[in-house]
Chains A and B, each alone.
Chain A
């Protein structure tokens, strides 16, 4: 703990060094004010109560989908990149110390290594100190059989080093429509099996996460009397509240999803509160408006406060890769200061502005990857959105800035995306589309960016 603390204080070496000798009150106050900005307080976490199991769940849940990586050690036969377990342990330690007790993983995350890493980090704590959530990620038809699915369920317990799972989800129902739901969970009797496992106590809460076809969501909720969903995981943030369908016609507004859950008294677990960082990376004029209201709060804090405000929310998941993400979120949630009506209106204004920007609604979740033809889809979209948000896309050839922006765009593009993984290699097979929780028409967007780059190159050579 102290080590971590030092990391943050390290930046203000002079300030903290002074502490030893100074006892003047003013300086103490100054120090407190500073500390309150960089160091989340302990014991102040906001908790929500699960109506069925009475679990007291921290409003901040740790999403184990975007874990930190390090370069693999070739001599030990490791691949190019492996999860940085040491860093994961540090993050989990810091989170635990500040009251985060919900950890969400899946057999599919981090190229299949997330559960194992989560297990290593959490098994160092008393089992009753944390809740672990994982999912039946049997996307590939090869794993639809009863045996394979049950094997996946048992593997999860093995990797997580637990003999019961606190929160177990049918993963991303709605992708692939009713057909996929029937194939994955109904026809093979797996859902009934999981209900039995809940009775046996090996699953404490059973729920599902939803993306995509609204029919499946409605169908499963209509069966609530039969299955008794303990929780449902939905995507919710100030952009998706009203504008999900405007960003992508196949998505459904969170206002509907959340409303349906509240009607039935089912607690909601929130995913993508920040849309994979998109809501933290806003154009300058929106950032300015946020800072005018709250100079010290981060841009991301608005999104987290928004997602945590509704009382029916059990926890808000955040995939925190770096310590600074974790610290920022803890500052937001220790304790949560709910969004008031005026702020809510402001965020709806921000959302409208974002919709008008027409960025690609990619959250960098990497569900689309690996592309069978090697294209680095999320990296391309992230780069494009970043430039669009920053206003550095070279759009107007007559502007004085054009040639500088053009050079900057082309060079930064090559730096971020290897040549062979650039959009001109998208053949449009559409393999990715069924995996995209945001329903992005990926090939269309890639080809649009490809065309844009090709036109830039045609303009003149980069020199």
Chain B
């Protein structure tokens, strides 16, 4: 249910669903921690202490996704269904988990939340959903839109399909591949090897009130439960005659073992009424250590270098000779910005980088083609704004509505239009007023803050062509001017981000 809900949340581009299922993203544990939402974090811990890793088997969308893949794979043959096995080298397996957990904490503490999020379950799922699933969804929608256009219906409308940032797209693809491969090979191996949330909840799970217990007398040590345990948590050693051992740190409470035990030897209860104490043991497996995040981050800013490659030139003003036809429009390129522009409500770069888990929900949501994940190392995969496709429209606050971590947070619409997120700057050499010798003023006409005035280029000659002059106290950095500037490929008016957002 959560899986379906969150997937829909990422697929939906209309902004309708967020009102109904937006909360599903907000009860994810890492977002809740970053949002310092103590109630949710506390509740999740209590739930784990009482019922075990229910979070992993029900709430976490990546966990359910793996179960889904694992289940499909198990369907294909009996051998595959019985493919699980607890690790031989438990010490190594645990060391790996702890290593990833520490790495995650260290990166987050140093402010590299974006990079750390390569390990995080919810944000990985978000990136996969936004980068891989949403395009399929939009593609299907666009086909329906074409059909409904054919029948003159307005039920569906077409939406742009585009890759926001190539490196992040590639990372999502790699992570998707790795997670899926892990799920096929070892069920919940990702959750029990890499996932920092899994490691922490696994630790808590050892102390949970209700857990899987074995009835020593009933258990025939057939091992079927172990072969079907996708958490690889059950170990049976027939030869040594030892008891069935369950590693509770790996158990995700999927209850597959209960269903599969022919002797009713397993039950989900408090251990008190069982003969055998079912010690929590430490001897487990060592999953072959594949590196989950083999995709390096060396692609830094490669898109940005395109920025100033071509200077200024607007559309060639061709001498009109025949009627009809459309002028060719060159695509805009992303200008090089010294300071990134963050969505209104992000408060400051430092606040934002610490709180954003790079799940891409806002990116999936943004209807104006403004938000896309960053390629800069210090804000890796966290969203930033650019205005080649659209600008941050005043009536829209969908990113703030859906953000589960509170990294983007607006109290009301009024706050949005009065928050300065950037500052427009005029680039004289690109301005069509001067390059094409025409009247323009499109930036001034569309500035929602009234921050642009058209003034004579030559102050001594009131009849000279009028060029834009920016009132920096009024400019909020929404990017309308940059987006609607006719100069291509680089606009003649470009917005720089601010370090600290503030009200004007």
Which residues on A are within 8 Å of B, measured CB to CB?
65, 107-112, 139-140, 142-143, 365-367, 369-374, 376, 407-408, 411-412, 414-415, 420-421, 424-431, 435, 447, 457-463
Contact = CB atoms under 8 A, between A and B. Distances in A.
A369 B439 contact: no
Interface stretch (B169-177, B228-236, B267-275, B314-322): B314-322
Given A427-B486, A428-B441, A462-B157, A111 B396 contact: no
Contact of A372 (B315, B396, B439): B315
A337 to B, nearest CB: 34
A421 B328 CA distance: 10
Given A411-B154, A427-B440, A369 B323 contact: yes
A172 B436 CA distance: 27
A462 B224 CA distance: 54
9 smallest beta-carbon distances between A and B, as pairs: A429-B438, A366-B324, A112-B322, A427-B440, A374-B329, A463-B14, A411-B157, A370-B327, A427-B442
16 contacts: A108-B321, A108-B323, A110-B323, A110-B324, A111-B325, A139-B321, A142-B319, A365-B323, A370-B325, A372-B327, A415-B157, A430-B439, A431-B320, A447-B445, A459-B395, A463-B14
B323 A457 contact: no
B317 A372 contact: yes
Interface residues of B, number: 38
Interface in B420-445: 432, 436, 438-442, 445
A435 B320 contact: yes
Contacts of B116: none
Interface string B344-370: 000000000000000000000001000
A365 B326 CA distance: 14
B502 interface: no
B395 A139 contact: no
Given A408-B154, A414-B157, A428 B322 contact: no
B320 A374 contact: no
B158 interface: yes
A111 B324 CA distance: 6
A376 B328 CA distance: 11
A82 to B, nearest CB: 12
A32 B398 CA distance: 63
B446 interface: yes
Contact of B323 (A366, A424, A428, A459): A366
B15 interface: yes
Interface string B144-164: 000001000010011000000
B321 A371 contact: no
Nearest to B369: A419
A424 B484 contact: yes
Contact of A407 (B154, B318, B320, B395): B154
Contacts of B319: 140, 142
B394 interface: yes
A143 B15 CA distance: 54
B393 interface: yes
Contacts of B486: 373, 425, 427
Interface centre among A140, A415, A435 (most CB of B within 10 A): A415
A459 B394 CA distance: 10
B324 A429 contact: no
A461 B367 contact: yes
Interface string B45-73: 00000000000000000000000000000
Nearest to A65: B323
A28 B241 CA distance: 101
A427 B16 contact: no
A370 B320 contact: yes
Interface in B65-114: none
A373 B322 contact: no
A426 B446 CA distance: 11
B442 A426 contact: yes
A420 B485 CA distance: 11
Nearest to B442: A427
Nearest to A435: B320
Contacts of B440: 427-429
A369 B324 contact: yes
Contacts of A412: 154
B154 A429 contact: no
A108 B321 CA distance: 7
Interface centre among A367, A373, A428 (most CB of B within 10 A): A373
Interface centre among B15, B324, B440 (most CB of A within 10 A): B324
A462 B154 CA distance: 11
Contacts of A376: 326
Given A139-B321, A142-B319, A461-B396, A370 B326 contact: yes
A139 B154 CA distance: 42
B438 A427 contact: yes
Given A414-B157, A415-B149, A427-B442, A369 B315 contact: no
Given A426-B442, A430-B439, A431-B438, A139 B315 contact: no
A434 to B, nearest CB: 10
A414 B396 CA distance: 19
Contacts of B318: 370, 372
A38 to B, nearest CB: 24
A142 B149 CA distance: 43
A463 B367 CA distance: 10
